[in-house]
Each structure stands twice: as C-alpha cells, then as structure tokens.
Amino acid sequence: MKIIISLIPFKKSPESLKDAVEGCNGFYGLNKDDKVLIKPNLVQWDDQFKIAPFGVFTTTRLVEDLIILLKDYGCKNISIGEGSVEIEKGGGTTEAFAGLGYNEISKRYGVSLIDFNKSKSSHLKVKDDLVFHIAKEAIEAEFFIDFPVLKTHPQSKVSLGLKNLKGCLKTSSKKLCHHPQLGLEYCFQFIADYVKPSLTIIDGIYALEKGAFQFGNAYRKDIIVASRDILAADMVAAKTIGFDPQDILHFVEYAKRHNKSLSLNDYAIEGEKIENNISPLKWDWSWNKENTGPAIFDRLGLKGIAIPKYDDSLCSGCSPLANAINILVLSAFKGAPLPHIELLYGKRRQARSGYDKTILLGDCIIKANENNSNIKSSILIKGCPPTYENLVAVLKEVGLEVKEESYSEYLDQQGKKYDGKEGYLWDFFKAS
C-alpha cells in the first residue's frame, strides 16, 4: 500500500485541517491517553521590533485548530513544545509563546507549553563527534506532531518537517548541526530517527521565500500538506514550491538510510492535484562573481570591502549579525571605495590574501583561521555570538562610517512591509 499524503486547500477553520488529517488517516495509532506533543516552528522572537510573521511562524490559527481536533478526539494530555533561537535574553521561546497567542490557548484548552531550551535532555551519539542533546519531552512523547511552515531556506533549499525538528535540540547541538565537515543537511536529517513524528502537517497558508526569518518574501498560498510519513510530507510540500525531491540533499540522505523512494509516483496524494498547486520560490540570496559581497554591492558600484557569501556552517547565533553587516556596510558607502578589508563568519571560510585587514566575526571563524598565513593583520570579534555593539565598533575602527541605527531602521521596515496588503492577516497569529 502506498504512503498517503493529503494536499488540501485551506478554506476554513478547523474544517480544512480536519480534511487534511482525515485524508492521510493522520490520527492512526493515537490513543486518547497518549502524551501528545505538537512542535510548531517559532524560529526566534524579537521583542524590540515588530515581526512580520507570515511564512515565518506556524500560524497560531492552525495550531489551535489542531488542538480542537485532538480535544474532539478525546485527547487530554496535550503539550506544545519549541526551542526558539535565543540571540539575546528575553527573545526566546517564552516570548514567542506570549507574542503569538499560545498563553491564551494554553489557558483555554488546558495545554502545556514547553520550552525545549530549558528542558532536560537525552544525549544520543549519532556518529563520530556528532552527539545530539534532544529535549526529553520530544523523545518521550507518545504521539509527536511535527508542524512546520512552508518555506525555502538559503542553507538547505527548503525548511520543512525534517528541518523543523532541529528546534528539539539543545543550543549546543543546534550549533553542532552546522558542522564544518559533515554539513548542515547531513546532520539534521538524523533527528527524525530519535524524535519519530507520528504525523507531519505543513502549514502552507503562507509560503516564505528565502527564509527562515522575516527577511524573505511571504506569499499567500492556502494549502495544507499532511502525512504520517515525514519524508512524504516534505517531498510534496517541496514540490508545491518548485523543488524536485532528488534535488534536496537532506531528502536524499534520509531516503537512502531508510530505503525510501524519492519518486512522487510511488506515493498516493489525496485531495488537490499537485500539478495545480506548484508556485516556484527562490531559495538563495545572490552574491557577485568575485564573492566579495551580495549582488547589490555591484549594482551600486560598492568596492573595497570583501564579504564572502555565508555557507551552511553559519549557525543561527551569528546569522543575524551576518545580515546586519550588509546593511551597515551599505550605510557607510558614499560612492568612494571602502577600506580594503575582508570580513568572515561561520566555521569554514578561509581568509584570502591581498587584504590590509581581516575581520573574523565569532569564535568559530577565529579558530578556523588561527594558522592562516594569508592574513596580514587580523581583528577578532570574539563571542558566540558576538554582540552587535562590538561589530559596529570594529567597523568604525577600520574606517567605515557606518550608521549604527541603519539596521534598526531595516528591521522596522521589515516588520511593516505587508501592512495594508490584501491577504496578510495578523489574526492568523492570535488565539481565535
């Protein structure tokens, strides 16, 4: 018998989600007394700036719909768990729960909220130096529901069910997934071997292009994908945004280890026809040919400084700073060439010769270049991650007249970019 995947249009709550769950027999094996754990995608939070949530977070409306369905089924022991990236204190899972209406849901339905970052963990050796510290609640759940968003990602092409499980890891293991030798996609696809979702539901009310956070563009898509098989759900969801399963490395690795087919012809898709629901999305940001900066540098004629493109070793701790660097450098550009320096981040990139100074952002890249003879003069910005204030100070030190508030202005603009646009409903991210 073929594995079933539901592909259902979102029209109404909670009926659309009910159709998706029933279409793939999603509650098969669920007992009313089971410990049910829902894992949405609440990637990270920012209490300082308004966040445009579309395609970034699992819609609160669908999470509430799922709880209604579970309660109607008779389930009494329901939890919602997440381990949001916490760049600064006061911007983690607890704040995301509060900002997205989960506290109200918890009180209304008697649902527990779990911050995986504060949970006890199980230590599981995957291979060699790859050891996962996974929140115990995720492993011990009797019915685990993986509930990601439909999005593309600059490091893994797509971020769906398999990648959403990365939020079950403790912070040290999240960072380890960005392994400089093994690679991000190779590492995180092992998590499903230990967490073992009983049901994967992919929220495609909005689809995010070039996520994972709000810097990409979100589109209203209005689909729900569901399956009892995590890879099957991911493959169908990926196809709806223009990706063949064979082109996604973590799909290939997972399928190979579990002897699963990557051909959609070997699966049964219930509901909508997949060919009628394909809207290709871009996944990567463009860099110039010389790999000295994003494409906008060339369009503006910005010369001097070199910022090689991020790779998959850049973890979530430093990635906001990597984004901030581009905005700060653009704020310093007045038409004349900028200082001849190279700035590196991540865990793998090696400094090139010919630069007056090399800025190394973060402990990982400092270690990776500690014996690099190409470096004429290095400036180290220590930290895991470093602070924004230290980054600004160093950029000014090397002669860049950056506008310190430029990144704050950028974040403010990102939070407002959908205001007044049809179909972008903030009520989807509140308790009903």
Going by the DSSP 8-state scheme, the letter that residue 370 receives in this structure is T
Residue 363 has pLDDT above 70, yes or no: yes
Residue 90 has pLDDT above 70, yes or no: no
* Residues 6+ positions from 39 with CB-CB distance below 8 Å: 80, 81, 82, 138, 144, 145, 146, 147, 164, 165, 167, 168, 197
Going by the DSSP 8-state scheme, the letter that residue 3 receives in this structure is P
Residue 91 has pLDDT above 80, yes or no: no
* Residue 85 near residue 316 (C-beta atoms within 8 A): yes
Hey, what are 51's tokens? 């966040």
Q: What does the pLDDT read at residue 87?
A: 74
Share of the chain above pLDDT 70, in %: 99
* First-to-final CA distance of the chain: 39
* Residues 6+ positions from 337 with CB-CB distance below 8 Å: 303, 304
Hey, what are 174's tokens? 């999240």
Hey, what are 258's tokens? 């579990």
Average pLDDT score over the chain: 96
Distance (Å, whole) CA 393 – CA 396? 5
Give Cα separations from 359 to 50, 252, 307 (angstroms): 31, 36, 10
Q: What does the pLDDT read at residue 36?
A: 98
Architecture of the structural domain at 4-283: 3-Layer(aba) Sandwich (3.40)
Residue 86 has pLDDT above 90, yes or no: no
Q: What does the pLDDT read at residue 129?
A: 80
Full-model pTM: 0.96
What residues does each domain of the chain span? 4-283, 295-413
Closest by CA position to 415, among listed 213, 173, 194, 187:
213
Residue type, 327: I
Q: What does the pLDDT read at residue 1?
A: 84
Residue type, 138: A
What is 337-358 written as a DSSP string?
PPPSEEEE-SSS--PPSS-SEE
Reported as a single tens digit per residue, the pLDDT across 112-164 is: 999 999 999 998 888 878 899 999 999 999 999 999 999 999 999 999 999 99
Give phi and psi for 157, each to the nearest 5: 65, -55
Distance (Å, whole) CA 397 – CA 379? 10
Residues 284-294, buried b or exposed e (16+ Cβ, 10 A)? ebebbeeebbb
H/E stretch holding 367 reads helix 363-368
The answer to whether the bond into 197 is cis (omega within 30° of 0) is no
Closest by CA position to 153, among listed 11, 293, 289, 281:
281
